[in-house]
Amino acid sequence: MNLIARFIKEEDGATAIEYGLIAGLVAVAIITALSLLGGSLENLFGDVANQVDEATSGP
pTM of the shown model: 0.53
pLDDT of residue 58: 65
Q: 3-48 pLDDT, tens per residue? A: 777 766 776 667 778 888 999 999 999 999 989 988 888 899 999 9
DSSP code of residue 57: T
Write down the pLDDT at residue 1. Answer: 74
Count the helices and strands in the chain (H runs, E runs). Answer: 2, 0
